[in-house]
Amino acid sequence: MSEDNKELTTENGQGAAGDRKFATKLIHFGAEIDEQTGASSVPIYQASTFHHHDIFNPPQYDYSRSGNPTRQALEDYIALLEGGNRGFAFASGMAAISTTFLLLSAGDHVIVTEDVYGGTYRLLTSILNRLGIESTFVDMTDFAAVQAALLPNTKAVFMETPSNPTLKITNIAETTAWAKEHGLLTMLDNTFMTPYHQRPIEHGVDIVLHSATKFLGGHSDVLAGLAVTADEALGKRLKVLQNGMGTVLSAQESWLLMRGMKTLQTRMEQSERSARKLAEWLSQDSRVSKVYYPGLEGHPGREVHERQSLGYGAVVSFDAGSGEKAKALLSKVRIPLVAVSLGAVESILSYPAMMSHAAMPREVRLERGITDGLVRYSVGLEDIDDLIADLDQALNG
Ligand SMILES: *Cc1c(COP(=O)(O)O)cnc(C)c1O
């Protein structure tokens, strides 16, 4: 009996649970009550292997790399939230993204959002390029530029919208319609929006990816990645890769992630409300030279974003004027964590030039608008008045 390709999953996003509102799905996702005991949370199946009670009738789960009931509950949960066919949980966001890119083969070409997450850029330009997978980085706010990047060997389009950290907007439906005409696979990194604010499968995307380390986990205490496929054929192919690469998420981490996800809507609502206020306040402040937030009037692509998303998210980027000023600000703030990462209960201030985008050559970085003065503020659940007062004193540095 093979550990590969075993059908462990059920159809998601449809049926009774699929008709409910998002907030209800977050709490009642199917596995929230343990069938055997009635326990109010998914059991953590801390087991690597499963006994074959009857050798002629193999168990549903046989080895935890290939399938684990706790991980399966999480995988069904994210598939339900994204409205997809099948979910997959990985050891990190990069494990999800790198495993998914292996749907491509040597000789294939992929069109990628220009200011894509730094780790995705590094994966494409220092690892996948060696394996013969080529990539072209394109400013996807310009649809003509996306079309112009098409090569005879193009097989896929990888989007990140809003992009990181300048929050540029890609028109998802326009891009996926064009990609379908050309038989291209479409992938979208939905980390910044989460399925609460944006459900890319509804706009034609084939595979949605997440660093669940961020808003989905939400507490800066779990590293995880998720993928959701729109249809079963792709789901089967990704299952082979997840099992074959062994890039799976552990049962403990799967449980912890589900624990965090239950409060996603409440956290996103409050953080977004605060982020809007922070962006407005920053945009009136003469000490700041530029503010990036999709909810600000005049943000490029705002109308496109509003058509495809239900909110603006909780990440605000701004230019403190220079590298010196940005560093002074980072050493003077007292409330946010100064760190890589985002999307947590605590606010997190990060400095892309020296943190998330440090792997990117300076010229490339500047070309992509990631200046030396750019800082990224991920708004947490603290009182917004305190956050603004803190930033105000720090900007005086
Ligand atoms: C953090 C992040 C990733 C990578 O996820 P990890 O969990 O750190 O591996 C990918 N994409 C985006 C947009 C991210 O913010």
In tens, the pLDDT along 167-223 reads 999 999 999 999 999 999 999 999 999 999 999 999 999 999 999 999 999 999 999
Q: Residue 88: which H helix or E strand, with range?
A: strand 86-90
Q: 158 C-alpha to center of ligand 1: Å? A: 14
With cut-offs at 50, 70 and 90, classify the pLDDT of residue 226: very high
Residue located nearest, by CA, to atom 5 of ligand 1: 93
Q: Rounded to an integer, what distance in angstroms lies between the CA atom of residue 324 and that of residue 320? A: 9
Q: 223 C-alpha to center of ligand 1: Å? A: 9
User: 187 forms bridges with which residues in the sheet?
Assistant: 158, 207
| 62, 76, 115, 189: the active-site residue | 189
Checking if the pLDDT of 369 tops 60, the result is yes
| 45, 61, 77, 117: the active-site residue | 117
User: 372 forms bridges with which residues in the sheet?
Assistant: none
Told to judge if 6 belongs to the known catalytic residues of this protein, a careful annotator would answer no
Checking if the pLDDT of 8 tops 50, the result is no
Told to judge if 332 belongs to the known catalytic residues of this protein, a careful annotator would answer no
Model's pTM, two decimal places? 0.94
pLDDT at 2: 38
- The number of the ligand 1 atom at minimal distance from the alpha carbon of 191 is 13
Q: Rounded to an integer, what distance in angstroms lies between the CA atom of residue 283 and that of residue 276? A: 11
Considering the chain, what is the average pLDDT of its residues? 94
Rounded mean pLDDT, 34-40: 94
Residues 111 and 150 sit within 8 Å (Cβ to Cβ): yes
CA distances to 80, 82, 196, 238, 351 from 16, in Å: 11, 16, 19, 26, 44
Q: Rounded to an integer, what distance in angstroms lies between the CA atom of residue 121 and that of residue 127? A: 10
| 6, 20, 65, 277: the active-site residue | 65
Checking if the pLDDT of 7 tops 60, the result is no
Q: Which carries the bigger pLDDT value, residue 7 or residue 261?
A: 261
Rounded mean pLDDT, 86-93: 98
- The number of the ligand 1 atom at minimal distance from the alpha carbon of 224 is 7
Give residues with Cβ within 8 angstroms of 226, minimum separation 6. Answer: 74, 75, 78, 87, 88, 89, 90, 96, 209, 210, 212, 216
pLDDT at 18: 61
Q: How many CA atoms lie within 13 A of 58 on its CB side?
A: 11
Superfamily grouping for domain 264-396: Aspartate Aminotransferase, domain 1 (3.90.1150.10)
Q: Cα 71–72–75 angle (5° rounding)?
A: 90
Based on C-alpha coordinates, what's the Rg of the chain?
Answer: 21
In tens, the pLDDT along 309-339 reads 999 999 999 999 999 999 999 999 999 999 9
Q: Rounded to an integer, what distance in angstroms lies between the CA atom of residue 72 and that of residue 224? A: 14
Told to judge if 327 belongs to the known catalytic residues of this protein, a careful annotator would answer no
Q: What does the DSSP 8-state code read for residue 202?
A: G
With cut-offs at 50, 70 and 90, classify the pLDDT of residue 17: low
| Farthest CA pair distance, the chain | 74
pLDDT at 1: 33
Told to judge if 117 belongs to the known catalytic residues of this protein, a careful annotator would answer yes
Residues 320 and 329 sit within 8 Å (Cβ to Cβ): yes
CATH number of 2-261: 3.40.640.10
Residue located nearest, by CA, to atom 1 of ligand 1: 211
User: Tokens at residue 283, please?
Assistant: 């945009």
Rounded mean pLDDT, 26-50: 95
- The number of the ligand 1 atom at minimal distance from the alpha carbon of 223 is 7
Q: 2 C-alpha to center of ligand 1: Å? A: 32
Q: 356 C-alpha to center of ligand 1: Å? A: 9
Rounded mean pLDDT, 79-101: 98
Exposed e or buried b for every residue in 305-344, given b needs 16+ CB within 10 A? Answer: beebbebbbbbbbbbbbeeebbbbbbeebebbbeeebbbb
Rounded mean pLDDT, 148-159: 98
Residue extents of the structural domains in the chain:
2-261, 264-396
| 214, 325, 365, 368: the active-site residue | 214
- The number of the ligand 1 atom at minimal distance from the alpha carbon of 94 is 9
Q: Which carries the bigger pLDDT value, residue 4 or residue 289?
A: 289
Q: Rounded to an integer, what distance in angstroms lies between the CA atom of residue 322 and that of residue 274? A: 25
Checking if the pLDDT of 13 tops 90, the result is no
Q: 304 C-alpha to center of ligand 1: Å? A: 24
